[in-house]
Structure 1
Amino acid sequence: MLERLLEEKKKLLNEVSQKVRTESDASKFEIGDIYDIASSERERELTLMLGDREREKLHEIDMALERLQDKDYGICEECGEPIGEARLRALPFTRVCVDCKTKAE
């Protein structure tokens, strides 16, 4: 699971890096009327929102790596029971089992 988490982290950091490069390249050539500017601002807002989600996912991956190191990985933070292997394969940075996630929703 360590390799999977590290791969997820690398992939996420590459995606963020690409978005930052794209955004900075686009802003260099920004010329247009008020509608173009408004549209560009909206795109930047969406990029920032995605950035928040990506930061949260990166944090969750880092926390999962800590749990691996502390030997707490794969244990539900809510009920203390083992998280199913299928759930961990699908979402390697999850902190709760399927039952607890379902109850929370």
Structure 2
Amino acid sequence: MTLSNQEIQGFKKTLLMQKKEILENGSAEHKENNGLAEETGDLTSYDNHFADLATELDEREKDITIEDAARERLELINTALDRIREGNYGICVDTGEQIDRERLEAIPYAIRTKEAQDRLEDRKEGNKSETEASFATGGEREDARIRTVDDLQEEHGNSTRIPSSEDERSDD
């Protein structure tokens, strides 16, 4: 079930609208952030309460996460538009199979079939668990330079420990 030229043009229109929306939201967000900085008028953060600074930091982290997601989505949209120009829109980059029309309607910038995307995500999950396992505490590690707080405390003692009278005598 190949996509007709009319369907491809419909997807192109959808992609261009999504791209415009992302760019407009990013521009509005940038203006809003600049306006907020001017509004508060603070040149330094020395007189701000630490809770206010923590809230501001949390908001910045959220904004950065949203901006990163928008940037990634914009990149995917641009890739889909390039694929339309090249004539291979709707074809899976991994398998060469046709991507289901329903999938493209839901995610017009999809470059893989659902099955190929699932396999990719399964591979990523497998790699992630291997990485996480390499930082497990206790036991032998592949890299002897990686040490945990427990390892350091066991080797050197607790640095917050109050010295006992025996420790004070041994210093004399």
**Corresponding position of 2:72:** 56
Higher relative contact order (CA 8 A, sep 6+): 1
Larger radius of gyration: 2
> TM-score scaled to structure 2, two decimals?
0.57
| Secondary structure at 2:112 match in 1 | coil
Residue 45 of structure 2 corresponds to residue 16 of structure 1:
no
Name the aligned partner's letter for residue 58 of structure 1.
L
> TM-score scaled to structure 1, two decimals?
0.90
**For residues 79 and 36 of structure 2, what CA distance do their matches in structure 1 show?**
34
Residue 19 of structure 2 corresponds to residue 2 of structure 1:
no
Displaced runs of 4 or more, over 2 A: 29-34, 102-105
Counterpart of 2:53 (choices 12, 37, 40) is 37
1:16 positional shift: 1.3
**For residues 42 and 28 of structure 1, what CA distance do their matches in structure 2 show?**
20
| Secondary structure at 1:51 match in 2 | helix
Alignment: residue pair count = 105
Residue identity (%): 30
Unpaired stretches in structure 2, ≥5 consecutive residues = 1-10, 43-47, 122-172
CA RMSD of superposed structures (Å): 1.4
**For residues 97 and 43 of structure 1, what CA distance do their matches in structure 2 show?**
36
Unpaired stretches in structure 1, ≥5 consecutive residues = none
Higher helix share: 1
**For residues 3 and 43 of structure 1, what CA distance do their matches in structure 2 show?**
33
